[in-house]
Structure formats: structure tokens, C-alpha cells
Amino acid sequence: MTISIVGFWITLVQLGRTQRAAAAVSTAVRNIQFAVSKYDATIEASKADTSLESARKHFKSHSWGEAGEAIDLFSSSLHAIKTLQIAELRDHEAEIDVALSHANRLCERLDKVGMSGLPENEVIKTLSTMRDNAKLLTSLRIALQRSAISE
């Protein structure tokens, strides 16, 4: 009987250790998933920045087809950032939504006007919005960097 009780006690101790080890592994996996998501968001922010810079150049040179493609890439990268749902970027969700909305409307507008392009006053407003979007991307990258440093 004593052997049975000792064996049962050892089993319970081992079960507790196993549960703690499983919880630690689960936490580690979650942390890795968060880190990968942040890395993906950083990559997408870089892609968005490159696309936005390309769009600015194409707008200034009135290369409407290329401008539309660049804005479409910018929009896709922003959408990816939003979809990743990074906690550190929640403060910027409204700004991301506004930038996405503007990019999508701009793509539709460029598709509609084709090679004739946009009037100069619209180009000036769009370039101003692009500067605001560049500031947003800077804020997103800084938030991601701060998050990485604090880990």
C-alpha cells in the first residue's frame, strides 16, 4: 500500500511538472508568433514606404499607370499591416483606415481617368496626403521598434 501511495504521489508531481512545462512551451510559442507578426509588419511597412515613394515620383512625372500600381502596392501593404493586428499599432488603426480608404479611392480614380491623368490641383492634394502617409509609416515603424526593444 505504501508503494502505491508513493507511486501515486510521484505521478502527481510529474503531472504538475509536465503541466508547467507545457504552459512554458505554450507561452514561448505565443511569443514567437508575436515576434514573427511584428517582423512581418516591419517588412510590410518597408514595402509600403517604398511603394509610396515610387508613387510620389510617378505622380510628379505624371506617369499615371505606374502611379496607380504603386498606390495599389502601398494599399496592399497597409492592409497586411492592419490584418496582422499588432497590439502596439492599435493606436494607429484609425489613421491606417483613413490611408487605406484614400489609397483605394485614388486607385479607383486613376483607373477611371486613365492616361489623361488627374488635374494639377488633385495632384497637389494627393502629394500632400502622401506626405501624411509617409509620416504614418514612420510612426508605425517607431512603434514596432520600441516594441522590439522592450521585449
- pLDDT 10s digits, 40-70: 999 999 999 999 999 999 999 999 999 999 9
Q: Is 1.20.120 the CATH number for 35-150?
A: yes
pLDDT in tens, 123-141: 999 999 999 999 999 999 9
CB atoms within 10 A of CB 92: 18
Q: What confidence category does residue 150 fall into, taking pLDDT thresholds of 50, 70 and 90?
A: low
User: What whole-number distance in Å separates Cα of residue 10 and Cα of residue 122?
Assistant: 76
For the chain, give every domain's residue range: 35-150
Q: For residues 127 and 52, is the Cβ–Cβ distance under 8 A? A: no
Instruction: Give residue 17's pLDDT.
Output: 85
How would residue 32 be classed by pLDDT, with cut points 50, 70 and 90? confident
Query: According to the model, what pLDDT value does residue 115 have?
Result: 82
